[in-house]
Structure 1
Amino acid sequence: MTDQPIFAGTHNTIMPCAFWRSEAPTRIDIDNNVPTLQIQATGDTRTTYDEGLGMHEAMKGSRLVTVPGRTHAVFPGYANTCANAAVNSYLLDGTLPAEDVVCE
């Protein structure tokens, strides 16, 4: 908590959604090959990077855009032109990066 003395208690605590059980967990088919763009921050405050890598591995047709930073909502609020360009391209015409991308 010392690296976030003001907001650590707010952003690194159990949130109400941790207790919501309104729907069954999403099951990803082993043969999943849907072309999906996944954006993952290395310091995500809600989904750890390892969890993001696990989802990327499960989603066989996905491309991963890794963004260094401590944020949960990378697009559109996090100012990273590399990630924003990948998302905008995907939303505009469904184009995925040719390979996984690590943004600076």
Structure 2
Amino acid sequence: MRRSAAVLLALALAATALPARAGSEPAATRKPVEKTFLIPAEDGYGVGECLSGGPSECGQVVANAWCESQGFASASNYGVAAQDEYTGAIDGAAPVKSAPRPLRITCQD
């Protein structure tokens, strides 16, 4: 009697453990999350000099700090945003005074 009760208990535990395990997704199959932020070039903090000068140690440090403050692990890309990233690339009349292009930081998990 004790042996059959132990076998039933073991089967019950195994049956409840298998569905819980089958629903969990391994970390390797999760899609990486990326998000691109557009930051005004003249935001008043002076980070534009580091981010707009091309790949540099200063730019990477600033971009990583920005991403960490937004809840991401690090920056995968940064620099001056292309026109089609912030205007939709719509042709139109040229503005009288052009504003500096915004900066772009792409963050990743």
Aligning the two structures, in what range does the TM-score lie when normalised by the shorter sequence? under 0.3
Mark the structure with the bigger radius of gyration.
2
- Structure number with the higher helix fraction is 2
- Of structures 1 and 2, the one with the larger relative CO (CA 8 A, separation 6+) is 2
